[in-house]
């Protein structure tokens, strides 16, 4: 059941999700089909379809009914919308072979990152991290530095997605994140991925797929001021 203070979360392999789904023609909306049409990459098409099916599956688990009965809109440059249910808000993310979805009664942001080998973490840190965030990397070896960077990235992107804000290196440098036991952003780390969910600090997170251990909280400040309300 949904309700105040509950965010429903799911994360899984795109291929496995689509293996359990009916053919997309049976459940994909017209706006989703238009969003899908220009995608040329097979992986991007698979990720798009898997995220939309996972959103329907999550709605069925949390609210009821069959996944294919839930109708979603697909506005450009925005998360899917549940048609006829303005009280239900979605956020989706995909990276590598994985997709993740959050469902809530209020604005929510989710971000999933599967690190790519060979990334210039030092260069990305200089481009995207604030001076105070750079201190979080002190004493870390290359592997732990990469893990910290990707966790920070998901923290910032989930915060931006909750607010419908834009993502660019210059914007990321305006967002200062720090570990905070009372923070509104929670992170998880899987074997080869990082994920963050941004919601109210008091909100319960309810996982419908396996919940990884090791979650921690973060808070964000912008331009030296407190984070804006959602």
- Nearest C-alpha neighbor of 9 from the set 225, 221, 222, 212: 212
Please identify which residue in the block is written with the tokens 């009280």. Answer: 87
Please state the length of the chain: 230
Q: What is the pLDDT of residue 219?
A: 97
Structural domain boundaries in the chain: 6-106, 111-202+213-226
Q: Which helix or strand (DSSP H or E) is residue 102 part of?
A: strand 98-104
From first to last of the 230 residues of the chain, give the pLDDT tens digit: 444 579 999 999 999 999 999 999 999 999 999 999 999 999 999 999 999 999 999 999 999 999 999 999 999 888 999 999 999 999 999 999 999 999 999 999 999 999 988 889 999 999 899 999 999 999 999 999 999 999 999 999 999 999 988 777 778 888 999 999 999 999 999 888 999 999 999 999 999 999 987 779 999 998 644 444 33
Q: What is the pLDDT of residue 167?
A: 76
Number of neighbouring beta carbons within 10 Å of residue 223: 7
- Domains 6-106 and 111-202+213-226 are alike in CATH topology: yes
Class of domain 6-106: alpha beta
Q: Coil, strand or helix: which one is 216?
A: strand
Q: What is the pLDDT of residue 228?
A: 41
Cβ atoms 6, 104 nearer than 8 A: yes
- The CATH number of 111-202+213-226 is 3.90.470.20
């Amino acid at each position: 059941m949904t309700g105040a203070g509950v965010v429903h979360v799911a994360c899984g392999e795109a291929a496995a999700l689509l293996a359990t789904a009916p053919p997309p023609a049976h459940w994909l909306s017209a706006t989703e089909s238009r969003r899908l049409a220009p995608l040329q990459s097979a992986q991007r098409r698979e990720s798009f379809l898997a995220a939309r099916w996972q959103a329907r599956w999550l709605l069925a688990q949390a609210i009821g009914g069959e996944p294919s009965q839930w109708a979603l809109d697909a506005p450009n440059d925005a998360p899917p919308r549940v048609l006829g249910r303005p009280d239900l808000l979605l956020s989706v993310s995909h990276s590598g072979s994985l997709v993740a979805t959050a469902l809530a009664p209020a604005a929510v942001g989710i971000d999933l990152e599967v690190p790519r080998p060979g990334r210039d973490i030092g260069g990305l840190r200089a481009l995207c991290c604030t001076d105070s965030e750079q201190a979080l990397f002190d004493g870390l070896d290359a592997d732990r530095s990469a893990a910290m960077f990707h966790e920070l990235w998901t923290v910032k992107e989930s915060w931006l997605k909750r607010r419908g804000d834009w993502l660019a290196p210059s914007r990321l440098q305006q967002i200062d994140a720090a570990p905070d036991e009372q923070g509104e952003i929670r992170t998880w780390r899987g074997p080869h991925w990082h994920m963050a969910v941004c919601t109210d600090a008091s909100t319960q997170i309810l996982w419908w797929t396996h919940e990884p251990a090791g979650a921690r909280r973060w808070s964000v400040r912008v331009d030296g001021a407190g984070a804006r309300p959602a």
